[in-house]
C-alpha cells in the first residue's frame, strides 16, 4: 500500500504484551505489611477495651453481644461490597466479564481497607489495572471522579431529606436544628457545589514554561470537571445498575451499623442512624489506613451527641469497624490473588491481550 506522498507503508505485526507486575505499593509483601500493621492496631484497641480500667460497661456490652446480629451485620457488609461491584461494571468496563469486574471491584475494596484517603487507594489499584488493559488515562480519571461522586451521592441526598423531615417534626426523635437542619443545609450546599463544578470550565492551558505544580493543577481541574459532567450525564440516563449499586452500597453499610447497635440491645431511630452515619464517616477522609481512628472517633462522637448511650455506642462502633475492615480485606485478598495470576495468563484476554476496558 502506498500513501499520497508516494511512500510505501509497511504493515508490522503487533507483538504480544510484555509481562506485567503490580506497582510497588500494591506488591503482596507491602500489602501484607500494611494488613499486619492495621490489624495489630485493631487488636491493641480491642485489648485496651478489655483490659483498661474504667471500661467495664463497654466490656460487659461486648461480652453480651448477640452473635446473630453480628452475623447479620457480616451479611449486610457483603451485600454492600457486592453493590460496589454492581456499580463498578457499567461505569468502567461494561464489556468486561463479570468475573473480572468482581475481581477488580473486590480488590479495590480490599486495598481501600489498607491504603489511606477514604478508598482512593483502592481506586488507584483499579485505575492501574484498567490502564494496563488499554483504557486511556484521561478516561480512567474522568470515570474515577464520576464513580466517587455517584458512590457518595446517596449519602448526601439522604441527609438532606432526613434532616429536613426531622427539622420540621415529620420524623423523630426531636432534635435541635443544629443537629438536623444544619447538616441538611451543609449536604445541600455540597450537592449544589458539585453540580456547579462543570461551570468552572477547563481553564487556560499551561504554557510550555509552566511548573509541575501548575500543570498538575490544570490537569486535576480538568479531570474534576469532566468527571462531574459525566456523573451528571450518567444520572440522567437513569441506569438502574448504577443507581442500585449506589443505593445498595450506602444502605447496606448503614444497616451494618444498625445491626451492631442491635447486637448490644439498642435500636437507634432511623433518622439518627442516617445522620450520624454521614457525619461520622467524614472522619474517613483523614489520611489514615482504612480510616482507622478517623471513622471510629467520628461515629462515636456523633452518636453520643445525638443521645445514644456511650458504652453501647462504643461497642457497636468497634464491632462495625471490625466487620468493615476484615470482610473486604479477606474477600479482597482472594480476588486480588486471582487477579494477579490472571495479568499474564493468555487464557484471560480481557486482562492481558485485548483492551476490553472500553
- Per-residue model confidence as pLDDT tens digits over 74-90: 999 999 999 998 988 88
- Specify which of 35-44, 252-261, 311-320 reaches the highest per-range mean pLDDT: 252-261
Single pTM value for the model: 0.78
Query: How does residue 17 score in pLDDT terms, banded at 50, 70 and 90?
Result: very low
- Kindly report the three-state secondary structure assignment for every residue of the chain: CECCCCCECCCCCCCCCCCCCCCHHHCHHHHHHHHHHHHHHHHHHHHHHHHCCCCHHHHHHHHCCCHHHHHHHHHHHHHHHHHHHHHHHHHHCCCCCHHHHHHHHHHHHHHHCCCCCCCHHHHHHHHHHHHHCCCCHHHHHHHHHHHHHHHHHHHHHHHHHHHHHHHCCCCCCCCCHHHCHHHHHHHHHHHHHHHHHHHHCCCCCCCCCCCHHHHHHHHHHHHHHHHHHHHHHHHHHCCHHHHHHHHHHHHHHHHHHHHHHHHCCCCCCHHHHHHHHHHHHHHHHCCCHHHCCHHHHHHHHHHHHCCCCHHHHHHHHHHHHHHHHHHHHHHHHHHHHHHHHHCCCCCCHHHHCCCCCC
Task: Say if 281 falls within a structural domain.
Answer: yes
What percent of the chain clears pLDDT 70, i.e. is strictly above it? Answer: 69
Q: Is the pLDDT of residue 298 over 90?
A: no
Task: Say if 311 falls within a structural domain.
Answer: yes
Task: Say if 58 falls within a structural domain.
Answer: no
Task: Say if 259 falls within a structural domain.
Answer: yes
User: 154 is in which domain, residue-wise?
Assistant: 27-47+66-352
Query: How does residue 260 score in pLDDT terms, banded at 50, 70 and 90?
Result: very high
Query: What pLDDT does 72 receive?
Result: 96
Task: Say if 56 falls within a structural domain.
Answer: no
What percent of the chain clears pLDDT 90, i.e. is strictly above it? Answer: 12
Query: How does residue 277 score in pLDDT terms, banded at 50, 70 and 90?
Result: confident
More confident: 347 or 142: 142
Task: Say if 166 falls within a structural domain.
Answer: yes
Q: pLDDT tens-digit profile of 101-136?
A: 888 888 888 877 776 544 555 667 777 777 766 677
Find the range with the poorest average confidence among 4-18, 36-50, 171-185.
Answer: 4-18
How many structural domains are present in the chain? 1
Task: Say if 269 falls within a structural domain.
Answer: yes
Query: What pLDDT does 206 receive?
Result: 64
Task: Say if 338 falls within a structural domain.
Answer: yes
Amino acid at each position: 500500500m502506498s500513501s499520497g506522498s508516494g511512500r510505501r507503508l509497511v504493515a508490522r505485526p503487533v507483538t504480544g504484551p510484555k509481562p506485567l507486575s503490580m506497582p510497588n505499593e500494591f506488591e503482596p509483601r507491602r500489602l501484607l505489611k500494611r494488613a499486619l500493621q492495621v490489624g495489630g492496631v485493631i487488636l491493641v484497641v480491642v485489648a485496651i477495651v478489655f483490659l483498661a480500667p474504667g471500661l467495664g460497661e463497654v466490656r460487659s456490652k461486648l461480652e453480651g453481644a448477640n452473635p446473630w446480629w453480628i452475623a447479620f451485620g457480616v451479611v449486610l457488609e457483603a451485600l454492600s461490597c457486592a453493590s460496589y461491584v454492581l456499580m463498578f461494571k457499567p461505569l468502567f468496563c461494561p464489556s468486561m466479564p463479570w468475573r473480572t469486574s468482581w475481581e477488580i471491584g473486590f480488590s479495590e475494596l480490599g486495598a481501600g481497607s489498607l491504603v489511606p484517603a477514604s478508598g482512593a487507594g483502592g481506586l488507584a489499584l483499579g485505575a492501574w489495572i484498567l490502564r494496563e488493559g488499554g483504557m486511556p488515562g484521561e478516561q480512567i480519571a474522568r470515570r474515577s471522579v464520576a464513580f466517587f461522586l455517584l458512590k457518595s451521592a446517596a449519602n448526601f441526598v439522604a441527609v438532606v431529606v432526613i434532616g429536613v423531615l426531622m427539622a420540621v417534626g415529620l420524623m423523630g426523635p426531636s432534635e435541635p436544628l443544629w443537629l438536623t437542619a444544619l447538616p441538611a443545609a451543609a449536604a445541600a450546599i455540597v450537592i449544589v457545589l458539585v453540580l456547579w463544578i462543570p461551570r468552572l470550565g477547563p481553564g487556560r492551558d499551561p504554557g510550555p514554561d509552566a511548573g509541575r505544580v501548575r500543570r498538575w493543577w490544570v490537569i486535576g481541574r480538568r479531570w474534576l470537571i469532566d468527571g462531574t459532567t459525566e456523573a451528571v450525564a450518567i444520572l440522567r440516563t437513569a441506569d438502574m445498575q448504577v443507581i442500585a449499586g449506589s443505593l445498595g452500597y450506602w444502605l447496606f453499610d448503614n444497616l451494618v451499623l444498625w445491626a451492631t447497635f442491635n447486637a448490644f440491645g439498642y435500636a437507634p431511630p432511623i433518622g439518627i442512624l442516617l445522620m450520624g452515619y454521614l457525619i461520622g464517616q467524614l472522619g474517613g477522609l483523614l489520611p489514615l489506613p482504612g480510616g482507622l481512628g478517623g471513622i471510629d472517633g467520628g461515629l462515636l462522637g456523633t452518636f453520643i451527641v445525638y443521645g445514644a448511650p456511650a458504652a453501647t455506642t462504643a461497642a457497636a462502633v468497634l464491632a462495625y469497624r471490625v466487620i468493615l475492615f476484615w470482610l473486604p480485606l479477606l474477600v479482597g485478598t482472594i480476588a486480588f490473588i486471582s487477579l494477579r495470576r490472571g495479568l499474564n495468563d493468555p487464557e484471560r484476554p480481557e486482562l492481558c491481550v485485548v483492551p476490553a476496558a472500553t
